Every structure is written in structure tokens, then in C-alpha cells.
């Protein structure tokens, strides 16, 4: 075989596609021959545990090959029995044909990190379209300019001619042009006979000429808005000429192997000098999303001219490789809260190489730009009455205020409602129990995401369980199991637990343990204590609250009644409580599409008073008082009093 | 000899320095062993003809080695006689010991490009210090900031903390920070305990944080102002903390081999696709000047944070590699007249890698930023009375106006007063005749630059000669030689010529030919016609002129009386005429040191009305009328009338 043939064969192999099907989910993907199985799983939307990130030494990414040819590197992490049963490490195995692979359940239950891309989609769908109360005036826009070419009488230089033409369309008193654009300007103008498409971007008070192209490219200008979550990264593709959301995509934050919350990731990065790697991972995730969106919509990267992001302060620091170390230790400060627009390429984000990267402003180390986006989206800064905004994720951020003042705080109560620290907890992915009722006779009715086999419990389901156990007298006001005469309360390895789904040939057993309940209780107590500290500090009573907005990744069926029943939210009439979904990306889109909205977001961030709960003298007391169902002080929860007294 | 020894020997050789002395100038330099002789000559400040730029095929850089060891590459461009007499091509010869070299006179006479660095210094000395009428507010400045470190109570992020501190010192409503600076910001702040030196630069309406360093580096901040001339490039090193000019340096524009005027260079670049090379050469010249200044003053490049330049439009285009092609052909437009600040590194200029490059604004393709600098420096834009500003170089640019209006034009009359197109013309370098009187008996008295042996005639000398020949009746009003009874008017190879210096063992003969005189006449006529077109268009009579400013590289002894006598300037009382030297670099320095001056320069550039003489119906007639001494219309020159009638 001569070298030409070898090259040809390599080409053929590369071109050869293999179908890989994963059981029991049935998710499928198609990959090139030779692709690593871990990568194929990722592509199919399957999250496999992998602490080492694919280096083959943690032994977590075990799967079973049912059918198909593969090639695995030898490893000491598999027993001879496992090897006999075709168990492999996915990260050490190459796909050599169509395959059928079984993903053991431990991947999707024990780590509580198992969400599929299809589910992440659901988060993205929660976001409403931009509020529409701001004038359409995108941060980056493409203008179609028809200039008259210079003559001996009209000898204005090309660059000034361009500025004059731009200023006929938009308000741009201070302008700047990138050097490479200046160098090619005359050539483009002459070739296009002075009919050009000019992309301009706003950078602070300056309007920058980002790109100059022939005039037939006026209608193609896109941006990507990103919600930079600790667990999920959501991206929306926006047509900047219309403001329309063209497509959405989401993926997992691939930093997750370095810690479930960002504090652990900062520690990891610090101990392992892995800040660059942290950045690479999150940048890679964002680029992956952009590639997926661009390919699906058949858009040239050249035509994506802006990326805007909102997220918690740590995640923004990781993305830009700003120093996040003092976020986790005194004095708990960010390196930057207001990140000026930079060239996206500088951060490694792959769009038009002169495209801009924007970031919404943040308030403090623990109140990020996602919260500012939430305030912008819910418009509580415009209202006369007082509103409460609660974003429940890894931390529970709380904002209280109106058009005159805004107070905020962050409770580090832990991510129990995200499924973390809960035995069968999971995010709102396929098979997650998202809605649950316990009937009088002790029978349990539930609904799962995608009406699939139940595989775990997501945020709204956990909230329901805690409330239903309480209402039905299965746990007492201290959230301890009352075992007497409760058929589903059984003793497990870790003490008492409530059986939601019994084990069967089809289902794994799904339970909620006393430890789970304690975690959930602490989470809700943390959130309520944060709310109460802000309310007391501002002398706001529950009767003063005109609206409560809950944002976060609970799922679609958040039962706001139950949130009051367990004492997570103040006891107000239910019609005042509204679940608003992903306000982070909604706010990012609003800002992207209006300069005025960016200014407003900056004003919001500047005007918010941050309460540091760690150093707040009353917080710990409030927290302890809230570690009851609904609270030690029942007078705060008149609507729950009857239930509580019965228990 | 093992490899260590070889390396050591190489090191030694490199360290070994050779003294090279050039005759007859006596200029000396010291170079490393092995240096090419052409390079050594350049370093000594000797300009050797070299059309090929050192490639060894033009054969122009012949010198004679009197003493010392050298190594020459074989060449067919030397005759056996030359080789025997130790004639070598300087570009093909390496210095191997101390040497004594003779530079043949043809280098310094025939090309009329022979100026030495020492002479270029003289240009630079012509520049006065900045006018001082603007508030000291440099475009780039270093601020010493002492911030209080963040605490739990004062959790403002580092980046915003920095902005707050900067705004205590300077007005900077809109700010921007480079991404790399943001990334290192926290580290520097913590290390320096929040006492830092911050370099900020003005970019349009935005103030950019260029550098953040520990607080002990506050007093070291420099900039370089550059006058980008077609022939000479002058640089001044400015201490930005005081505004003082620390040092000056000048060199030759090394594009000169591609054409003496910029139109020829544009043609060359276009025909040979040599725009990159044009840029490389001029950038190299600027970098050479910066290196020289920095080394002499023992300044770190890191501490040079800005470069500002003024120059003709074409030269600025070459420097930035903007498209200059339509400068030389219809519609005679620039690619950019107002060049926004860019990072100097983007243009290849080697200062602090985040340092800024500024360029004064220009008016039109033929009225560059050097002219705007001249208007700024002479302050004619502030005066009630009408002033005339005339810059005589390769072109003769003319500005007429006052605080209410400004008109400008450029005559393409050719660079005769720069010595070009004049047989023994040269720039104001050592040995140039810069002052000359013809006495009644026909004897000639002259003064040379540096009181050296006369080797040619520079601008002020040429002006004197033309006037003296006319006053003494040696040429008539059409500038033709009256040969009768004039002992020094002799017939040469090219017709009649006036012998200024007879040939001797010491001197080469120096003459002025009829062709030379015709060139000078056309130059002065071009300038006067430009002045007259502007005066007529604005209905300005000579009696309305309150001041005439002459700028350019004439030398130190410009006789303004003679400039009127030959009819180059309008006939006004002599006290109204002032030679102002290099106003280009003076204006650049003024702008560098005051934001307000930059704004003023921009207003000047915008407000100037450009008259295109090429298409002006009356210009050619005026030019022809001015091709007499002093003019066809003697009534315009009452003070010269008596002389003229005598002739």
C-alpha cells in the first residue's frame, strides 16, 4: 500500500460514521470511527461520572458494551469479572463500529449530576423573550451605508466619510476604528463602490467600527446570549437585525468534575494551579454551544459579532481568567464587577475575530450579574411597591426592593434543591420526579420530566415531598420522621427513609432519607433567613410585599403554595408569587438588544446594597429559627398554622 | 576546540569593538567586529548612496579603505584598478579591526541626499518648546494611587476600586481597561498593597487603563514626539511627568531610495507591491530613533507609553500601511485624515506593548497633520488679524486665515529649496552653504553649516544665491544669466553657470546652473501662486497680512528679505515675517501634553477650507506670472521695484 492509499484509507476511516446507542435511555449519536466513547456519550447528551476528566485513572466512567467492536487500553481499574462482562472505561475505549452500550444506573443517580442536553433545553425554554420595554438599539449592529464616492470637489477621506455616514443612522459622537479595519477600509469601499455593510459595537461611550464588508451582507448579523451557570450553560442565538431568538442550546459546565459548587472549584484551581484549565473548560463549553447553534442554523462564525453573558461572579472570573481567589476568602471581593467590553477573541471565544464580548455587571462576590439580570427582567426596580426576587441555585440569592431602593444578599445554604446532597436528588432532567402528592392512604402520585421512568427527584419534586411529608404528618415540625403507622417510612442503611418508588424489575428504589430532609431544611432555612434579614433591615413586613418572583432551575411545575408551606417564602397571598424561570439569560438578551438596558443594568448593580450575611449579627439566629417547618414563630405563617398545629 | 570554547570565542568576537573613522568628515563610530561597513557608516552618521539598499548590486556605496583589516565579498562592480586601490562596496564589506575609511565626495554631492545625523539634530533644535497656552493634561499620564485595601465592609471589586481612585485625580467619565491588565490587576494590587502607579491614556472620549504597576514606578513615564518628514524623521523624547523635552534625535527617512518625493514612492510601491516594505522602512526609522533616545537616556522601553506623530498625509499612510494610492491620482483623497489612537505595537512601533500611538489630524491628501501642527504652533487660528503660514519642503503648503476662517493649499512646485533638482544643492548639513553674499566686485562671501569645507548649498543658501544674482544683475527678471562682463559666469557642460567655489585641491567646484535657477524659480513661483490664489479667493491684500510665518528645513539663516526679493513671499514689512523652524514637531508636542490641544488641532483640521490648486482655474496663470523675478506685476512688489527696474 503506497502512501497515497494510506492517506486515502485514513480519509475513509475518518469519513466512516458509527452509530452508538446508549441504554437504558435509548439516546443515540453518530460519531467518526475511532472516537473515544466518553466523547460519544457526551455527544449523545449522556453525562458519565469522570473525575479525572478522561485521563483513565479515576475509573468512574465504566459502561458495558452490549454489541459492537471497540478497542480499549489495558487498565488495572477493572476486575477480571468486569472485563469478561465487557465493562470498559469509556475514556479509554475507541468506537470501531456501530455499538450498543449500557450506562449503569450509578452514573445517573449517585452523583446527582446527570442531566442530558435535552433537559438543559428545558431550562432555556423557561426564559421569556426580552421585556420589550427598552428601545431596540442593539449593542452591536450592522448598518447598510450608501455613500457617494469621493470626487475632486468632495475630497473627504474615506475614514471620515464612513463616520459621517454612520452618524446619519445612529448616535455615535465618539467613534473608534480598529487598526486592521482602517487598513482595509479604502479597498473595501472602492470595491463595493461605497455601498457597504458596517458593523458597529458600543464600548462604553465609544462606538467602534468592528467590520466593513460589501453592501450585500447587511442582513446577516447574529449574537449569542449566554447564561453562565455553575452546572448548566445555556446559550441563545439572537438575530441582531430583528431581535428574534433564532435557536437555543444548553450544555453542562464541564468544570463540574472539579467541584459541584464554585467555591470548591476555586479551591481546586488554587491547589492545583488550574485556573487556566478552568478557563479552558468553560470557554470550550461556550464555544461548543456556539458551534452547535451556528452549524444548526447554517451561520458563518464571521456573522456572529457579539457574545453577552450573565452568570455568578465566580463563573465570570473563571471564563475571563480573572483572579477569583478572594471570592472565597476574606474580604470576599471580586477582581472586577463591571467587566468592560472586550474582544471575544481575547477570551478565546470563537466568533468574528473582531466581535465583542459583553458581560452584565455584578454587585458583589456572591451577587453576580445573573441576579442583576433577574432584577432587570422582573422590573422590580421600576415598581412603587416592594418586590422580593429569589433565585435558588447553588446559592440562594435574594433581592428586596422597589424603584427607590434595592437590597440583596446571598445565602450559602447549599444546593439541595438542585439535587445535590440528596440521595436520589437530580436536576430537572428526563425521569426526574418534578411533581408529587401523598394521598391520605399513604399512596404517592407523581409526574416525571418527559413522563419517563422515574430515576430521581428534581427541585420542584423535592419541595413537594418536603411539604407533603409535613402536611401528611409523616415528618414533624423539626422535620423528623414520625415512624408510627406510616407504611412507607422504613428503616434503611442510614436510618429512617420514605419510600417514593419501590424497587422493581423496571425501577430502582427511590427514597428520601432523614439526611436528605435535613439538607433540604437547611437550604430552605438559609433562603428564608436571608429574606428575613433583608426584610427586617428594611422594615418590610410580609404585608408590604407586592410580589415575589422565584427564579431558578426547579423545573416546570414549581408549586408556590408548597414553598410557603415549608416556610421558604414569606406567607403572602399565592397570587403574589410567580415562578419566572431563567431570568439570567432573559436579562442578558434584554441588554444585548438595548443600550439603554445595559445602562439600566449598570445603575441597578451600582444601586443595590449588599448585605454580607456571614458577618451579619442576626443571620445565624434567623437561620436557626427557620430550621423548623415552617418556622419556630408560627405567627409568621398564618396560612400554615392549621397544618402545623395538627402535626 | 570544544563547542564551549567556540561559543566563548564567538562571544569574545561579538564583544570585541572596532573603531571606524571616516574621512574627510572625521566622523567616528565604534562597532562590533564583523559589522558591515555600510551599517557602520550609517551609525557614524554618514549617508552613503545605496540604491539597492545593501544588496550589493547597485555598486553605489563605494568607499576606500585606508587602514585596517576587512573582508569583502567578490563583486564584478569594481574594476581591477579600484580593487588595487582598496575601493570596496561598503555593503559587502565586514569590519575586522579598527579602520580608517575615505568616503568619496560623490556621495555627498551628486545625490543631494547627504545629511548627517548631527545635522538632522539642527532641525530638531529649531523647534521651540510647546506653546504653553494649553493646560498641562498629557494624553498619557501616570497616576500614583494609594487606595485602601478592600475589607468585608468595603467590598468594592478591585477594578471598580481602581476606577474610583483614578476619578479622584482626573476627569474620566468613560473608562476602559485592556483585558490583560484586568487579568493581572488583582495580583498587582495585592502585591503592592493597593499603592500603584497607573498609566492612563486618552482615546477619543474614553480613558484607557494602559498599565498598572507597583507604586514605586510613578516618576518614570515618557513619550516620543515624531515629525515624519519625507526626508528627515525627527524625534523628541518627552518626560510626561514634567512635559520637558529630555533629548532629541533625527535620522533620514530610509524610504529615500525609493524616490525623493512621496508621489514617486507611492508609484514605486504600487508598481512593485512594496507597501509593506515602505511601512517597514519608516517604522524601522522611528524605532531606531526611539532606541537611540532610550539607550542614551537609560530609559526602559516599558516606560515609553506614547508616540505622537505629525507628518504629511502620505507619510502617515506609509507608516500605518493605509492605502495611499489615491493621494496621487483622482480624486486625491486620503484613506484616513483623522487617525484614531491605536496601540503603537499594532503599527510595529516598539514602546510599552500597550502604549498608544497618536497622530495629529490632517486636512486633505496634500495638507497633512504637519500643517495642522504649524497652525496650532503659530496660533494663527486665535488671532483677529490675518496671518500667512508657509511650510516649504518637498511641497509648499500655505495656510491663510485668522480666528474666523482658515484656507489652505499645497503647491507641487518641487523640492528645489530642499536641494533636490539642484546640481550642488543639499540639505542643511555640515558643509552646506547656508548664507551667501555677492559683493560688488563679483566676489562671493559665504558661511557653511558647522563652518566646514563647503560641499554644497542648502535652502537658505539657494534663496540667497537667487536673490543675490538678481540684485547684482547677474540674472535678469526672467532669471537668465547675463553673461556679459561677469567673471564668475562661465560656460559649463550644461550651459551657463555661476561659480561659487572654484575647484581646488581642497574643494570640489560648486556652481549654480541655469537649470538649477529655473528649478528654484519654479519652486518659488509655485509657492507664491498658491499664496496668491488663497489671498485672491479670500480678498486679502498684502496690506491685510499681519504676520507671515515660514516653516521648514532651510537652516538657521533664512534671510526673509531675500524671500521677498525673489517674489516668493508677498511684499510686506520685514518685521512681519518670522522663520519658525520645525512647527510640525512643536505642534505634536503641544498636542501630546494637552488633551485640549488635541481637540483644538481637530477643530483646526475640520475648519480649514482646502483649495485644490490642480483644478483651480486661476492657479496656472498665477504660476506663470510668478515665474519672473520678483513677478510680472511689479506693483505687487514695491520694495523690490527699484532693484527690478535696475536689472
Model pLDDT for residues B341-370, shown as the tens digit of each residue: 999 999 999 999 999 999 999 999 999 999
Alpha helices in B342-495 (DSSP H): 369-378, 459-471
Nearest-angstrom CA–CA distance, A504 and A510: 11
Nearest-angstrom CA–CA distance, B239 and B256: 31
Q: Exposed e or buried b for every residue in A555-586, given b needs 16+ CB within 10 A?
A: bbbbbbebbbbbbbbbbbeeebbbbbbbbbbb
For the record, the C-alpha cell of A355 comes out as: 466581535
Residues of B in contact with A187 (CB under 8 A): 323
Nearest-angstrom CA–CA distance, B264 and B330: 16
B381-410: average pLDDT: 94
Nearest-angstrom CA–CA distance, B327 and B365: 5
Residues of A in contact with B320 (CB under 8 A): 179, 182-183
The answer to whether the CB atoms of A332 and B205 lie below 8 A apart is no
**Neighbouring-strand partners of residue B18:** B31
State the smallest CA–CA distance between residue B448 and chain A in angstroms: 43
Q: Which residue has the higher pLDDT, B615 or A607?
A: A607
pLDDT confidence of residue B627: 96
pLDDT band, very low/low/confident/very high, at A108 (cuts 50, 70, 90): very low
For the record, the C-alpha cell of A266 comes out as: 476555586
Q: Is the pLDDT of residue B257 over 80?
A: no
Preferred mutation among A181, A276, A324, A333 to probe B, highest tally of B CBs within 10 A: A333
Model pLDDT for residues A185-214, shown as the tens digit of each residue: 999 999 999 999 999 999 988 999 999 999
The answer to whether the CB atoms of B155 and A333 lie below 8 A apart is yes
The answer to whether the CB atoms of B322 and A205 lie below 8 A apart is no
Q: Is the pLDDT of residue B506 over 50?
A: yes
The answer to whether the CB atoms of B155 and A346 lie below 8 A apart is no
For the record, the C-alpha cell of A588 comes out as: 442578558
Torsion-angle region of B542 (φ positive above 0: left; ψ -120 to 50: alpha; else: beta)? alpha
For the record, the C-alpha cell of A283 comes out as: 470557554
For residue A442, the 8-state DSSP code is S
Q: Exposed e or buried b for every residue in B607-630, given b needs 16+ CB within 10 A?
A: ebbbbbbeebeebeebbebbbbbb
Nearest-CA residue of chain B relative to A345?
A: B179
Name the percent of chain B lying above pLDDT 90. 64
Residue ranges of A 346-385 with Cβ closer than 8 A to chain B: 346-347, 362, 364-365
For B151, the closest of A331, A337, A342 (CB atoms) is A331
The sign one gets for the Cα dihedral B497, B498, B502, B506 is negative
A388 closest CA partner among A559, A153, A564, A254: A564
Residue ranges of B 176-195 with Cβ closer than 8 A to chain A: 176-177, 179, 182-183, 185-187
For residue B41, the 8-state DSSP code is H
Phi, then psi, of A615 in degrees rounded to 5 = -100, 5
Task: Count how many Cα atoms sit within 13 Å of the Cα of residue A348 in the half-sphere of its side chain.
Answer: 17
For A151, the closest of B331, B335, B339 (CB atoms) is B331
Strand order in the sheet with A140-146: A140-146, A195-203, A206-214, A174-177
Nearest-angstrom CA–CA distance, B24 and B104: 9
pLDDT confidence of residue A254: 87
B42-50: average pLDDT: 68
Nearest-angstrom CA–CA distance, B316 and A350: 33
Model pLDDT for residues A291-333, shown as the tens digit of each residue: 999 999 999 999 999 999 999 999 999 999 999 999 998 889 9
For the record, the C-alpha cell of B459 comes out as: 535652502
B308-334: average pLDDT: 94
Q: Is the pTM of this model over 0.95?
A: no
- Do the bridges between strand B232-239 and strand A495-501 make them parallel or antiparallel, or are there none, so unpaired? unpaired
pLDDT band, very low/low/confident/very high, at B469 (cuts 50, 70, 90): very high
Residues of A in contact with B338 (CB under 8 A): 157, 159-160
Angle (nearest 5°) at CA B567 between B443 and B478: 70
Q: Is the pLDDT of residue A605 over 90?
A: yes
Nearest-CA residue of chain A relative to B313?
A: A157
pLDDT band, very low/low/confident/very high, at B392 (cuts 50, 70, 90): confident
Q: Any idea which of A72-76, B415-419, B455-459 has the lowest mean pLDDT?
A: B415-419
Residues of A in contact with B323 (CB under 8 A): 183, 185-187
Model pLDDT for residues B162-175, shown as the tens digit of each residue: 999 999 999 999 99
Q: By the 8 A CB rule, do A534 and A409 touch?
A: yes
Nearest-angstrom CA–CA distance, B46 and B24: 11
Using alpha carbons, list the distances in angstroms from residue A241 to A139, A291, A467, B587. 11, 20, 47, 45
Angle (nearest 5°) at CA A622 between A531 and A642: 85
Chain Cα centroid distance, residue A359:
15
A23 closest CA partner among A71, A70, A68, A64: A64
State the smallest CA–CA distance between residue B328 and chain A in angstroms: 12
Average pLDDT, chain B: 87
Q: By the 8 A CB rule, do A564 and A571 touch?
A: yes
Rounded to 5, what percent of chain A is helix, strand, coil?
35, 25, 35
Q: SS3 for B218?
A: coil
For B333, the closest of A157, A323, A326 (CB atoms) is A157
Q: Any idea which of A610-614, B49-53, B151-155 has the lowest mean pLDDT?
A: B49-53
pLDDT confidence of residue B121: 37
Q: Any idea which of A433-437, A506-510, A634-638, B519-523 has the lowest mean pLDDT?
A: A506-510
Q: By the 8 A CB rule, do A209 and A218 touch?
A: no
pLDDT confidence of residue B60: 67
A119-129: average pLDDT: 36
Nearest-angstrom CA–CA distance, A292 and A314: 25
- Do the bridges between strand A577-581 and strand B87-89 make them parallel or antiparallel, or are there none, so unpaired? unpaired
Q: Please list, in sequence order, all residues whose beta carbon lies within 8 angstroms of the beta carbon of residue B100, skipping any fewer than 6 positions away.
A: B20, B21, B23, B65, B66, B67, B68
pLDDT confidence of residue A122: 35
Rg (Cα) of chain A, in Å, rounded? Answer: 27
Using alpha carbons, list the distances in angstroms from residue A631 to A115, A528, A565. 33, 9, 10
Nearest-angstrom CA–CA distance, A404 and A402: 5
Torsion-angle region of A318 (φ positive above 0: left; ψ -120 to 50: alpha; else: beta)? alpha
Residue ranges of A 424-463 with Cβ closer than 8 A to chain B: none
pLDDT band, very low/low/confident/very high, at A120 (cuts 50, 70, 90): very low
Model pLDDT for residues B168-199, shown as the tens digit of each residue: 999 999 999 989 999 999 999 999 999 999 99
Nearest-angstrom CA–CA distance, A396 and A80: 47
pLDDT band, very low/low/confident/very high, at B429 (cuts 50, 70, 90): confident
Q: Does A157 touch chain B (CB under 8 A)?
A: yes
A578-599: average pLDDT: 92
pLDDT band, very low/low/confident/very high, at B1 (cuts 50, 70, 90): very low
Q: Does A345 touch chain B (CB under 8 A)?
A: no
Q: Does A156 touch chain B (CB under 8 A)?
A: yes
Q: Does B612 touch chain A (CB under 8 A)?
A: yes
The answer to whether the CB atoms of B610 and A155 lie below 8 A apart is yes
Place of cell 477582581: A335
Task: Count how many Cα atoms sit within 13 Å of the Cα of residue B589 in the half-sphere of its side chain.
Answer: 30
Nearest-angstrom CA–CA distance, B25 and B12: 31
Q: Which residue has the higher pLDDT, B516 or B644?
A: B516
For the record, the C-alpha cell of A155 comes out as: 475630497
**Neighbouring-strand partners of residue A175:** A207
For A176, the closest of B175, B321, B340 (CB atoms) is B340
Q: Any idea which of A9-18, A91-100, A116-125, B430-439 has the lowest mean pLDDT?
A: A116-125
ipTM exceeding the 0.95 mark:
no
A481-501: average pLDDT: 87
Q: Please list, in sequence order, all residues whose beta carbon lies within 8 angstroms of the beta carbon of residue A286, skipping any fewer than 6 positions away.
A: A226, A228, A233, A235, A307, A309, A319, A349
Preferred mutation among B148, B150, B153, B155 to probe A, highest tally of A CBs within 10 A: B155
pLDDT confidence of residue A375: 96
A54 closest CA partner among A232, A270, A257: A257
A382 closest CA partner among A209, A607, A162, A544: A607
Amino acid at each position: 500500500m503506497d502512501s497515497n492509499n494510506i492517506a486515502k484509507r485514513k480519509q475513509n476511516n475518518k469519513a466512516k460514521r458509527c452509530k452508538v446507542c446508549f441504554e437504558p435511555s435509548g439516546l443515540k449519536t453518530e460519531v467518526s470511527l475511532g472516537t473515544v466513547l466518553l466523547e460519544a456519550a457526551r455527544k449523545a447528551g449522556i453525562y458519565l461520572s469522570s473525575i479525572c476528566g478522561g485521563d483513565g485513572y479515576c475509573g468512574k466512567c465504566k459502561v458495558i458494551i452490549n454489541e459492537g467492536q471497540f478497542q480499549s487500553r489495558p487498565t488495572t481499574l477493572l476486575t477480571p469479572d468486569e472485563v469478561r462482562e465487557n465493562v470498559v472505561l469509556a475514556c479509554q475505549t475507541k468506537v470501531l463500529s456501530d455499538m450498543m452500550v449500557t450506562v449503569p444506573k450509578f452514573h445517573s443517580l449517585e452523583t446527582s449530576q446527570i442531566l442530558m442536553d435535552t433537559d438543559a433545553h428545558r431550562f432555556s425554554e423557561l426564559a421569556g423573550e426580552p421585556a420589550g420595554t427598552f428601545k431596540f438599539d442593539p449593542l452591536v449592529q450592522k448598518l447598510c451605508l450608501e455613500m457617494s464616492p469621493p470626487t475632486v470637489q468632495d475630497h473627504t477621506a474615506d475614514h471620515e466619510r464612513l463616520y459621517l455616514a454612520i452618524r446619519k443612522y445612529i448616535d455615535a459622537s465618539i467613534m473608534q476604528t480598529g487598526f486592521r479595519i482602517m487598513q482595509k477600509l479604502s479597498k473595501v469601499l472602492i470595491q463595493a463602490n461605497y455601498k457597504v455593510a458596517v458593523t458597529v459595537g458600543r464600548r462604553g461611550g465609544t462606538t467602534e467600527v468592528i467590520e466593513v464588508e460589501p453592501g450585500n451582507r447587511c442582513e446577516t448579523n447574529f449574537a449569542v446570549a449566554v447564561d453562565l451557570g455553575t452546572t448548566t450553560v445555556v446559550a441563545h442565538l439572537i438575530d441582531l437585525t430583528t431581535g428574534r431568538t433564532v435557536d437555543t442550546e444548553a450544555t453542562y459546565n464541564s468544570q463540574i468534575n472539579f467541584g459541584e459548587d464554585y467555591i470548591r472549584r476555586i479551591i481546586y484551581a488554587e491547589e492545583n494551579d488550574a485556573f487556566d484549565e478552568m478557563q479552558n473548560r468553560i470557554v470550550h463549553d461556550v464555544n461548543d454551544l456556539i458551534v452547535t447553534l451556528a452549524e444548526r442554523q447554517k451561520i458563518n462564525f464571521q456573522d456572529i459579532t457579539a457574545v453577552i453573558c450573565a452568570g455568578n461572579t465566580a463563573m465570570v472570573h473563571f471564563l475571563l481568567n480573572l483572579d477569583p481567589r478572594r471570592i472565597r476568602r476574606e474580604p470576599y471581593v471580586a477582581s472586577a464587577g463591571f467587566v468592560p467590553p472586550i474582544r471575544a477573541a481575547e477570551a478565546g471565544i470563537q466568533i468574528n475575530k473582531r466581535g465583542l464580548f459583553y458581560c452584565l455587571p455584578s454587585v458583589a462576590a456572591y451577587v453576580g450579574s445573573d441576579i442583576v439580570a433577574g432584577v432587570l427582567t422582573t422590573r422590580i426596580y421600576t415598581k412603587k411597591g416592594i418586590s422580593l426576587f429569589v433565585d435558588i441555585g447553588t446559592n440562594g440569592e435574594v433581592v428586596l426592593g422597589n424603584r427607590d431602593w434595592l437590597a440583596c444578599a446571598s445565602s450559602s445554604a447549599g444546593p439541595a434543591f438542585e439535587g445535590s446532597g440528596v440521595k436520589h436528588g437530580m436536576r430537572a432532567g428526563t425521569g426526574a420526579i418534578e411533581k408529587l402528592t401523598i394521598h391520605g392512604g399513604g399512596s404517592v402520585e407523581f409526574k416525571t420530566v418527559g413522563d419517563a421512568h422515574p430515576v430521581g427527584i428534581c427541585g420542584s419534586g423535592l419541595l413537594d415531598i418536603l411539604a407533603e411529608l409535613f402536611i401528611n404528618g409523616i415528618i414533624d415540625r423539626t422535620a423528623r420522621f414520625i415512624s408510627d403507622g406510616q407504611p412507607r417510612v422504613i428503616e434503611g442503611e442510614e436510618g429512617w427513609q420514605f419510600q417514593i418508588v419501590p424497587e422493581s424489575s423496571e425501577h430502582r428504589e427511590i427514597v428520601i432519607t432523614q439526611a436528605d430532609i435535613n439538607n433540604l431544611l437547611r437550604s430552605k432555612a438559609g433562603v428564608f433567613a436571608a429574606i428575613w434579614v433583608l426584610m427586617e433591615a428594611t422594615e418590610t413586613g410580609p404585608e408590604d410585599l407586592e410580589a415575589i418572583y422565584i427564579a431558578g432551575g426547579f423545573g416546570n411545575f414549581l408549586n408556590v403554595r408548597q414553598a410557603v408551606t415549608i416556610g421558604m417564602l414569606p406567607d403572602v397571598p399565592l397570587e403574589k408569587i410567580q415562578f419566572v424561570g431563567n431570568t439570567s439569560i432573559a436579562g442578558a438578551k434584554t441588554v444585548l438588544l438595548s443600550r439603554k438596558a445595559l445602562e439600566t443594568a449598570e445603575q441597578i448593580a451600582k444601586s443595590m446594597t449588599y448585605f454580607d450575611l456571614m458577618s451579619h449579627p442576626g443571620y445565624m439566629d434567623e437561620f436557626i429559627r427557620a430550621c423548623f417547618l415552617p418556622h419556630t414563630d408560627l405567627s409568621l405563617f398564618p396560612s400554615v398554622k392549621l397544618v402545623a398545629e395538627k402535626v
